[in-house]
Structure 1
């Protein structure tokens, strides 16, 4: 962009507030950093960048980063074609450089060394780009440093490693994946060996990772992993101190060949003996509220020894690992609560003489392990059995709560009112908006009862849900298209129809939710046909096998929805 670049003449757009976890991650970098969206607009900036740019976050958010900041050496506007940062941004690749100038509010410019890298913000599909920078004048190394780090990384390489660590570690909520990414970040770049000891929620120590560089790959040593002795408050040896949150330190095998003061010291001696490490740097891994563990980097083949000058970098990496592990543990706790809640919400199948039944539920892969999909089967007051499958809008605890309300209301109406399914669902729809938090839902409600000739009479109504699948003992499958009406919560009060079908001996009925058959980029008929073919293929196998195989083979690979399935069979 040519001409004046004063912020008053630039176009500014609104951007969404940044999550608190992202702000903490940027501040933890320790250098200037800002984040831009796919259009190059600044969406987040840390405190260090605010100080170096002389502008607050509110004064830069929403502006195009290039137009607001990037200048030539004399303060002149810089065309996009001459800006290395802009070119790398559009290419979507990591890049670094030193010949860039950022505009300051007084019209002067500040020369900076910079690095940019793609960055994924948790919970957002849009790709972002992270920019880290520091003034060039402070990147120069002093003429005679008191101690030179043996990890001969330049300041820019150090920033690149920290930016990569931030991007890699904060973009996952899985503990194992976090540890894997951490290991690959530091080995072999900083050390031959990486060891991670974590403190469990029961205050037990577990050696989760022992790995070393084996050429271009990372080799795990599971025989050195596993439970560790307790951390004693009186132990002053390096690992014990780190696991209590004390400062990082450099150590070697000679320390651990002295008389040990704890069981952990004995394990550390075994570690040094087995790995051949001659030098190690140990740093605590701290969460926001507690010490989560310790990171140990060791050198065996690399003859250079760690020094205290290497510890700030090791501490910075451990700090980022602590933030990622803290978030992962919080997420795991939420998942555990959600799983427990879901187990209590989903019913057990009733025993119905002469009828086999089984049910399955799979949560959405990226949700909180609960959702609005549900199934139910229960006896009715007149001796028949009720069947239900439904989907409440949403994939979270709120949807699960609404599902439980809807299911309990359905049970109450169905038991107390000896009426056709259509009338029961009409009553449920009328009451839903007044006494539940559910905005919209689809469902099938059916009743099934044995007839004197050995067949089963099925009566149902469908409120905007995918159709039932009936597969005969001959392997011929058909969808029961009758009984269709509008979904619950639409406000329409159209009459709901009932439909009927007979289940012959050996036939199988499958009730399911749309997550089983809906696939991105495909019409619904593709998923329905896949369900029909696979259910027919397993109609002569045990019902539990049919349910498992249908889930395994029919559910789309890119499924992002939860799935409920209820299958029943009239034995031959």
Structure 2
């Protein structure tokens, strides 16, 4: 049997929209997949066609049922076939379907595409025996339009919310999709721990959030209250309140908050459903309509129950992601060593995790004093963005410190030995880094000696208002060399460090943005750094990160050195 048929049976077997709404329709409904094969059929369709849903599943719907009066299959100019192939809306007032008992039955039918955002998921076929009662046919047409709209809304909410792992953004998207399409006001309450609820989002017409502070109270959870909100938060039952604006005597602070909200927005009817399913509820979703002539009904309730179940799953994922990200960021920061303050030289560093990352990464910085009193500076990036990359970063940092501690040799020689040792004693496949020595007496003058293993170049800002990238001493990435010998030695370079100058080492997250070339990122960084060059070093680092345009998807590590003025 086809995968399409299996998928249809799984959908039909799920509690929620299909079983609670579609199976109750008096009209016959068959859902056909993109290839024209039946994926699901409701009981009314089974009765009309004298065929079971199981027997129809996976069969080509057109070939199975569509016939002329002489029982021949219609040709290629068939309206039904065109509707199924071209995913368009269509209808016929009179046609013939072949039943399982061999009889032909005259039907009227309507076809409407079911989409998941921009993706075509199939076609909903609604049909009925021909009747002289034209109002009955009109009702069937309206039923199909309503049903298709609800199916599409549920699918779109699932798709759109699945694109973010940020709770606030997920709730903002939910509000924009439900208002004004399905409701005039939407409120979301989340269960905090076991004994508190927090109203975290309220969306109204045109995105208004009237009375925000009063509506977003954090209140004790009264589990025995009879309030619809409390019942939904408990995961017990969804509630359709057909007289939502009527004054009520609240039996808990939470019930008072909810009743006050409904009266304040002028609610005519309201739906309150659990976020999640069964006993696993993370909160409640409330939808409000203010027009007494268009109240919510039982069909709306079943749709919103399904939406609440799906939103609950998304919020579970975003909360889990948030906890993972907090732990990951703490781990990353603990792996980065505190900075020394060598004499009159000032050092500052920052680490900023990727906006959408859930795990630690391989960006790192380091600064330490060597045995000969020289200050060593390191910035690096291990390939990957996961726990393996973070572990590799810690390994490289420890090995590099050991190799550099008691050596007065050039940085390039030290990095060569790190490159030779890396395959044998680390899990790192490839990495970039800059290793530099700040050489000179305590009061200057100072010289920078460095080597660059495939990393973005350091930026030197001088007191005369100039900024230049130190593009010299570029060698291959760690892990990229194919041989050894004198010809493969890494280059070194030196440059004087004027008094009052600032040296910036950074990872590529500070200069790379999707859709922009590297030169644009380097120019932007140089421009921002020059504008901030007179700021205290900590402010310099903080404002560099603040000036990053939106769109960054990578970690950022930066290390800044400020030399004292003359």
Across the aligned residues of Structure 1 and Structure 2, the Cα RMSD in angstroms comes to 4.6
Quickly say closer, same or farther: Cα 1:270–1:337, change in 2 above 3 A: same
Report what 1:193 is aligned to: 185
**Which of 532, 542, 549 is matched with 2:536 structurally?**
542
- Note the C-alpha offset of 1:519: 4.7
* Contact 1:34 1:130 survives alignment (8 Å): no
TM-score, with length taken from structure 2: 0.77
Instruction: Name the counterpart of 1:280.
Output: 270
Give CA-to-partner distance per residue, 1:247-273, whole Å, 9 cap, x none.
Answer: 112236689855543332232332333
| Partner in structure 2 of residue 569 of structure 1 | 562
Contact preservation (8 Å) 2:245, 2:268: no
Would the alpha carbon gap of residues 304 and 199 (structure 1) be closer, same or farther in structure 2, given more than 3 Å must change?
same
User: Which of the numbers 549, 552, 559 marks the counterpart of 2:552?
Assistant: 559
Match 2:463 to one of 473, 495, 507: 473
Structure 1 pair 87–275 and aligned structure 2 pair: CA distance change class (3 A): same
Report the Cα distance in structure 2 between the residues aligned to 1:252 and 1:563, rounded to whole angstroms.
53
**Do the aligned residues in 2 keep the contact of 1:96 with 1:116 (CA within 8 Å)?**
no
Q: 2:279 & 2:501 partners in 1: Cα distance?
A: 58
Residue number among 425, 430, 436 corresponding to 2:420 in the alignment: 430
Offset at 1:516? 2.4
2:202 is the alignment partner of 1:204: no
Label 1:514 to 1:280 Cα distance change in 2 as closer, same or farther (>3 A): closer
Q: Establish whether residue 251 from structure 1 lines up as the match of residue 241 from structure 2.
A: yes
Q: How does 1:365-380 map to 2 (within 5 A)?
A: 365-368=355-358, 370-380=360-370
Partner of 2:46: none
Q: 1:98 touches 1:136 (CA, 8 Å); kept in 2?
A: no
Larger Rg: 2
Q: Which residue of 1 aligns with 2:511?
A: 517
Which runs of 5 or more residues in structure 2 are unaligned?
23-29, 43-52
Q: How far does residue 293 in structure 1 lie from its aligned partner after superposition?
A: 0.8
Cα pair 2:513 2:553 within 8 Å, conserved: no
2:437–2:448: 8 Å Cα contact kept in structure 1?
A: yes
For 1:55, which of 16, 40, 58 is the aligned residue?
A: 58
- Are 1:256 and 1:266, in contact at CA under 8 Å, matched by a contact in 2? no
Paired residue total: 517
Paired with 1:156 and 1:139, the residues of 2 have a C-alpha distance of 21
The residue number in structure 2 matching 1:294 is 284
2:155 is the counterpart of 1:163: yes
Shift of the 469–178 alpha-carbon distance from structure 1 to 2, 3 Å rule, reads: closer
Change over 3 Å in CA distance of 1:112–1:335 after alignment to 2:
farther
- In the alignment, structure 1 segments of 5+ residues that lack a partner are 1-6, 13-17, 57-64, 89-94, 120-127
Q: Describe how 1:134-149 pairs up with structure 2 within 5 A.
A: 134-137=124-127
> Matched residue of 2:306: which SS?
helix
1:224/1:557 CA distance change after superposition, 3 Å: closer
Q: C-alpha distance in 2, partners of 1:497/1:67? A: 72
TM-score scaled to structure 1, two decimals?
A: 0.76
Matched residue SS, 2:220 = coil
Equivalent residue for 1:462? Answer: 452
Deviation of the 1:476 alpha carbon: 2.0
Q: Matched residues in 2 for 1:291 and 1:550: separation?
A: 42
2:174 aligned partner? 182
Cα distance, 1:41 vs structure 2: 13
What are the superposed Cα offsets for residues 142-195 of structure 1, whole Å, 9 maximum, x if unpaired?
999xxx9x9997222222322332233333222122222222333333333222
| Superposed displacement of residue 443, structure 1 | 0.5
| Contact 1:33/1:130 (8 A) holds in 2 | no
Please list, as runs of the form range in 1=range in 2, the aligned pairs for 1:66-465 lying within 5 A after superposition. Answer: 74=73, 76=75, 83=82, 113-117=111-115, 119=117, 129-137=119-127, 154-201=146-193, 203-213=195-205, 216-251=206-241, 257=247, 259-286=249-276, 290-368=280-358, 370-451=360-441, 454-465=444-455
CA offsets, 1:468-507, max 9 Å, x none? 2222211222222332221101143321222222212111
Partner Cα distance (1:451, 1:24) in 2? 78
Q: Would you say 1:504 and 2:502 are equivalent positions?
A: no
**Closer/same/farther in 2, CA of residues 236 and 55 from structure 1, 3 Å limit:** same
Superposed CA deviations along residues 90-121 of structure 1, whole A, max 9, x for unmatched, are: xxxxx75567x9xx9x9x9x9773434464xx
CA distance in 2, matches of 1:389, 1:52: 65
How far, CA to CA, are the matches of 2:272 and 2:289 in structure 1? Answer: 12
Secondary structure of the structure 1 residue equivalent to 2:127:
helix
Contact residue 242 and residue 268 of structure 2 kept, 8 A: yes
Take 1:166 and 1:154, find their aligned partners in 2: how far apart are those partners?
19
Identify the residue that residue 62 of structure 1 maps to in structure 2. none
